[in-house]
Structure 1
Amino acid sequence: MVSIGYFLSSEEFRPRELVRQAKWAEEAGFERLWISDHFHPWNGEQGQSPFVWSVIGALSEATRLPITTAVTCPTVRIHPAIIAQAAATAAVQCEGRFTLGVGSGEALNEHIFGDAWPPAPVRLEMLEEAVEVIRALHTGNEVDHHGKHYTVENARIYTLPEQPVPIYVSAFGPKAAEVAARIGDGLCSTKPDGDLIEQYREAGGKGPAQGGFKVCHAATEAQGVETALRVWPNEHLPGELA
């Protein structure tokens, strides 16, 4: 089964505009929402980057569409215990129509504290432990966790949805697809990539797959090309360079 959703670009629009677009998307027949979550946009021309959890609170009152973060980095900028609480609250606000999309993050829009940025294998290791922490806290039990990357002591989340928050894991290559298959309830990717989905399935992933892409609406083709090149030039870079 395929459903078509609308991608709320936090990189380009202010919070009230994102909420307005979500209402229009629901009226137009879209079936779900994605919303990006970064500290910085991909480039200065995009110009925005609101705090996603505040926007999700507003979206929960403005629309009945399911919402997925695409994607939250629960490893470096924000401790996974805080993400666990934020996701639980979002799921309660959305009456269960919330999915936590997570990924290992990029230095360009997550590296803000001045410490060393871990290489990809370490970030995947951190992501796996972060998801373990989040799932433990979503049980509602008191959690003590002393891992390689994170410590949690005497932590308990009291405001929880009726069902655990689904966690979809972002992937760009075979190693990440294997991690997504092992720890995720589903797969999410910033492009519809059949090869990636096949890698995810071959690694044992059985959950749904979500893939996003961007379009540009303009009066003429020339205007569309100019806008796309100005606002999203990174989308044209090959491989993982983007």
Structure 2
Amino acid sequence: MLSDLENLFKEEMEELNNAKQRCKESQDVGNVLIEYFDKLISSYEKTLRSMMKLTKISDGQQVYLQQIQEELRKEIEERKKFEEKLKYYAYTDPMTGVSNRRTGFMVLEEQINNCIRGDNYFSICLIDIDQLRSINDIYGHVEGDNLIKDLVEIIRISIRKDDIISRMGGDEFIIIFPKYRYNEAQRIMHEVFKKVQDFNEMNLKPYKISFSHGIKEINEYTTITNIDEIIKGADKIMYENKTKKH
């Protein structure tokens, strides 16, 4: 720090040293001017040292303020991360990483309101995983969770970016297809079935992934009452499809 201050007052220090040297070289006890000049040099040196001391204190305060600012910045960043984490858990299913029930209902409500205004249509697909309870009983809940995550990943790579998959709970999921008719949603689900079949043929698991689904299109002509009625409609179709398998 002292070296930095001397560099800051380099010109003044050089003048002071030159004056000291001149005074030393012209030292004459009987010369009143030299004695007076020597006193002026001492006074100037004290003033210069005081200025350097004050500057050092000021620099220390600046360092302290910078430390406070850095600590505040880190605290703000940590708080933002914490808020983002809270938001993530509020709207996301922690096991699969897809939207949770709350988010699914929010998206459904938005799509329904658009339909009521007559400027939108969408399809909803209800999915129920087959034999998940048996797989949990035979292979354990960890393997049952892996089955759910494997199926979710297959769905993810099959749907569009704007499509929303939400976990309703347990082994039930819904997929919301904005601006998709029934046939378009059914085509996507056929792709999912094909990918599931390919996955099963690899024999990576001691069981086969299987699921049932029901698709319902909602448009400006649909009699809309509430979200529960829409889900019940898709659930009825899904149950009929599940029954056909047995």
Output the TM-score relative to the length of structure 2. Answer: 0.23
Looking at CA atoms only, which structure, 1 or 2, has the larger radius of gyration? 2
Higher relative contact order (CA 8 A, sep 6+): 2
Output the TM-score relative to the length of structure 1. Answer: 0.24
